[in-house]
Structure 1
Amino acid sequence: MTAVDLPAVPRVLIAEADPWSRDLLKQVLLNVRCDARLDVCADGQQAATLLREKTYDLVLADWELSGVDGLSLLRSVRQQRRSPALPFILLSSRNDSASVREALPLAPTAYLTRPLNMESLTQRLQDLLLNEGESVYCEIPPLAPGMTLPAFLERRREASDGAPLRVDVKAAVQRSLGPEGLDLKQLEDQVRMDPQITAVLIAAANSAGYHGTPVQTLHAALNKLVPGQSMNFILGLALKHNVVLGDPGLVAYAERHWQLSQDSADYARRLARMLELDHERCYSACILHRLGDLALLRCLEDWRQGGGALDDEAIGESLDAFGAAYGSALRTRWRLPLELRQLIAATYSLEGGVYSREALVVNLATQMARLTEHEGLEALAGSKTARLLKVGLSELLRVRKT
């Protein structure tokens, strides 16, 4: 595809089995051409059907697709002898010379191995989808006539992209890169206070591409994913729409929820260490427990940018009505491990008659985080949760002052 043949609006097929890698490819591509018409699928048979039914300007396909693999898709495309040849980027975890030799006769436009080099992929997409010096601007669509805020939020709940980012991911990754590559410990220290990054990496590490015992903490997720893949997932988050809030009022609400998450997580970690429990798991549950409220604030930014009115009263009412539902929907859709979801639920309330000690810890920690500096610690020490944990005022004071 040369500059003279570039379509006004390109149609692109992405065929990738892993949902988080699929989302990453989608975001990288939309960052290059926000107007692209995308078809996204998870298996080769569906990709083959789409290729028969539609005319595409570019295909990105994973070699390891189930059913019909990416190499077979490429072979089928090349047998059609289209002129000029359809640009086809083949993605693979195979970097051995035999695999490369097998693919090259089919003339893929690019053969990219995992973990992907994001800069290289972006440059290839720019070369294929943009004329030299060209950029594409996409306006934010206005709200539908008569749309109300509750109806908008209800509609967006099942499609929410999650929370805005708390940390500057590019700076965090850059600080974590050393002469020997990515320092996972350094990266964890940089991003562990960010609910969105924590949730996405845990979800990605438990997706279909990564087998074994489910992970429930950021530390375990980073060590289960390939380091380059972790870095790509984190950097990919920065490409998404409204990942940084622009409305000062929404930023103020987000800061309060981020701080509540951080305080809860710090208290939970200290309590769990004191009681010789799984402190990383307790930290993880608390850092994630306001994910839904933060995701809602991100959707409120969409509402505002689409022309909707927004004030403090509307923000507060929306958080009360939809915050918990957004969190539940995200945790379910992202398939966070059931044990972690149950522990997150314990930050809000304790149901039933038997509680794990970790559940008691996260519940007590979130209660502590909601207190002001000089209120309620004595009453909290006398609560049912504290009594079950056998934690008194002196221990709570130590946790707060640590």
Structure 2
Amino acid sequence: MPASPARPEVLIAEANPWTADLLVQLVLDVRGDAVVNTVTDGHAALARCRRKLPDLLIADGELDGLDGVELLRQVRRHPRTPALPFILISRRTDARSVREAMPLAPTAYLAKPFNAELLRQRLKVLLRGSSEKEPEYKRPALLINDLYEYLDSVREQGQGAPLLDDVRNAVATSLQAHDADLGELEKTFIRDPQITARLIAAANSAAEHVGAPCQTVGQALQRLGIGRCLNLVLGLAVQRNARLSDERLMALSAPLAEAAMRGASLAAWLARRLGLDAELCFTAGLLHNIGDLAVLRSLQDWQDAGGVLSDEQIAAAQKSHSAKFGSALRIRWRLPFGLRELVAAFYGKGSGVFSREALVLNLSAELLRGEPLESVAESRPARMLRLPTGLLEEIPQSLVPPPAAELVSEAQ
């Protein structure tokens, strides 16, 4: 397709919301000014093409109603559409299926799970042309003038936390290594709250859910497989607001990231010593302040769109909206209820019967607040757990902050 300075229109036909979101992010990474429309079945895609042809069509080979190959066949029958770029993504890679599609001249025939990085390189050629400079991306103007109204408006649709800078290089390396084993990927991804939450959510989506819900990165990796996990992480990495550029917001994100890892590691250490599910406690501890990080990302969006952002507003926004953002994310991503309960237990919320893992999270929160060990040993979670004598004194110093450290509260 000839490169054009006009905004390209891209149609994505994909029923799986996680894959659709990845494809949207890849397109926008190449052309930030692209107009991207998504549909979930072949008939809807064909109807859109009949109303107005896109500049590029990306379709799942196994669409409901009208599958990808038949959609391609219908599109190619029209005298105006033979040159329409069409990327077909299918799990049918046998010789017969490929021979059926090749006479219809798909621009690319990709096998599932596809290599998202290679697809991104192909999109650069299709949407921009190899000699063109990337068009300047202009963010839309703000429609709301008040910061706190803006935060309320984006809370339910927010993309979550930014990816943490200290894992970016490791993630970039993993994205190039499709022969990496699950263990190595888990070591890389388990350090980032955003990656952890999104992989667990994707593994528990309607399209993937079989058996017990996934509650840890390890379980999600097993269910999704290496290829799909790498693609989901790439989709996060290429989002335009995935990195904080304001130095004040970056400075705030560092201690939040440290607190997330400390909470995760402490909860896992206690759980391991008590013979409980250490991996699950690690996950809950890692996600306890994802709302704080998500607010920082939305504040960056506000500023990038032209909004004024003072130090006082940053502090007030975190205080007033972190809990709301965290709760909205955990619910919208449909994280397993048991995992959400553990995150809530970090803040002592909820009532009724507490699991021993929930008590570990609550105890971890007390320790991270810098409470004296004598006081923690007499606390309700410590008594209910019946901690062995001297266990608290054995906690590695690296996992417990100085007594003056404070914990930013976030309710379920």
Q: Same fold (TM over 0.5)?
A: yes
Counterpart in 2 of 1:2? 2
Counterpart in 1 of 2:44? 46
Tell me by how many angstroms 1:83 deviates: 4.7
Which residues of 2 match residues 32-111 of structure 1 at below 5 A? 32-111=30-109
Tell me by how many angstroms 1:84 deviates: 4.8
Counterpart in 2 of 1:304? 303
Counterpart in 2 of 1:123? 121
Alpha carbons 1:43, 1:66 under 8 Å: kept: yes
Which residues of 2 match residues 182-201 of structure 1 at below 5 A? 182-201=180-199
Which residues of 2 match residues 251-266 of structure 1 at below 5 A? 251-266=250-265
Alpha carbons 1:348, 1:363 under 8 Å: kept: yes
Does the residue aligned with 1:56 lie in a helix, a strand or coil?
coil
Tell me by how many angstroms 1:25 deviates: 0.7
Which residues of 2 match residues 3-402 of structure 1 at below 5 A? 3=3, 6=4, 8-134=6-132, 135-144=134-143, 147-166=145-164, 167-174=166-173, 181-213=179-211, 214-371=213-370, 375-391=371-387, 394-401=390-397
- Mean Cα deviation higher: 303-312 or 146-155: 303-312
Does the residue aligned with 2:12 lie in a helix, a strand or coil?
strand
When residues 131 and 181 of structure 1 are mapped into structure 2, their CA distance, relative to the original with a 3 A threshold, is: closer
Quote the Cα distance in structure 2 between the aligned partners of 1:177 and 1:125. Answer: 18
TM-score calculated relative to the size of structure 2: 0.90
Quote the Cα distance in structure 1 between the aligned partners of 2:182 and 2:33. Answer: 36
Quote the Cα distance in structure 2 between the aligned partners of 1:274 and 1:74. Answer: 58
Tell me by how many angstroms 1:279 deviates: 0.8
Quote the Cα distance in structure 1 between the aligned partners of 2:393 and 2:21. Answer: 44
Alpha carbons 2:167, 2:191 under 8 Å: kept: no
Tell me by how many angstroms 1:31 deviates: 0.9
Quote the Cα distance in structure 1 between the aligned partners of 2:21 and 2:292. Answer: 22
When residues 175 and 118 of structure 1 are mapped into structure 2, their CA distance, relative to the original with a 3 A threshold, is: closer
When residues 51 and 170 of structure 1 are mapped into structure 2, their CA distance, relative to the original with a 3 A threshold, is: farther
Does the residue aligned with 2:155 lie in a helix, a strand or coil?
helix
Quote the Cα distance in structure 1 between the aligned partners of 2:343 and 2:76. Answer: 50
Work out the number of aligned pairs and report it. 395
Tell me by how many angstroms 1:183 deviates: 2.2
Counterpart AA for 1:87: P
Counterpart AA for 1:181: D
Counterpart AA for 2:379: S
Counterpart AA for 2:2: T
Alpha carbons 1:176, 1:184 under 8 Å: kept: no
Quote the Cα distance in structure 2 between the aligned partners of 1:251 and 1:389. Answer: 38
Does the residue aligned with 2:390 lie in a helix, a strand or coil?
helix
When residues 211 and 141 of structure 1 are mapped into structure 2, their CA distance, relative to the original with a 3 A threshold, is: closer
Tell me by how many angstroms 1:59 deviates: 0.5
Alpha carbons 2:175, 2:234 under 8 Å: kept: no
| CA displacement 1:90-113 (0-9 Å, x = unmatched) | 111222112111211222111111
TM-score calculated relative to the size of structure 1: 0.92
| CA displacement 1:192-218 (0-9 Å, x = unmatched) | 121001011111112233231310001
Quote the Cα distance in structure 2 between the aligned partners of 1:45 and 1:340. Answer: 38
Tell me by how many angstroms 1:74 deviates: 1.2
Alpha carbons 1:29, 1:125 under 8 Å: kept: yes
Counterpart AA for 1:322: H
Alpha carbons 1:377, 1:393 under 8 Å: kept: no
Counterpart AA for 2:233: I
Quote the Cα distance in structure 2 between the aligned partners of 1:377 and 1:176. Answer: 43
Quote the Cα distance in structure 1 between the aligned partners of 2:312 and 2:121. Answer: 45
Unaligned runs of 5+ in 1: none
- Mean Cα deviation higher: 292-301 or 41-50: 41-50
Does the residue aligned with 1:141 lie in a helix, a strand or coil?
coil
Does the residue aligned with 1:182 lie in a helix, a strand or coil?
coil
Alpha carbons 2:167, 2:188 under 8 Å: kept: no
Does the residue aligned with 1:242 lie in a helix, a strand or coil?
coil
Alpha carbons 2:170, 2:188 under 8 Å: kept: no
Counterpart AA for 1:320: K
- Mean Cα deviation higher: 153-162 or 169-178: 169-178
Tell me by how many angstroms 1:297 deviates: 0.4
Tell me by how many angstroms 1:392 deviates: 6.0
Alpha carbons 1:93, 1:114 under 8 Å: kept: yes
Quote the Cα distance in structure 1 between the aligned partners of 2:349 and 2:278. Answer: 19
Alpha carbons 1:205, 1:221 under 8 Å: kept: yes
Tell me by how many angstroms 1:366 deviates: 2.1
Tell me by how many angstroms 1:130 deviates: 1.5
Quote the Cα distance in structure 1 between the aligned partners of 2:342 and 2:252. Answer: 24
Unaligned runs of 5+ in 2: 400-412
| CA displacement 1:360-402 (0-9 Å, x = unmatched) | 111111221222xxx4222111111111111267212212447
Tell me by how many angstroms 1:139 deviates: 2.0
Tell me by how many angstroms 1:300 deviates: 0.5
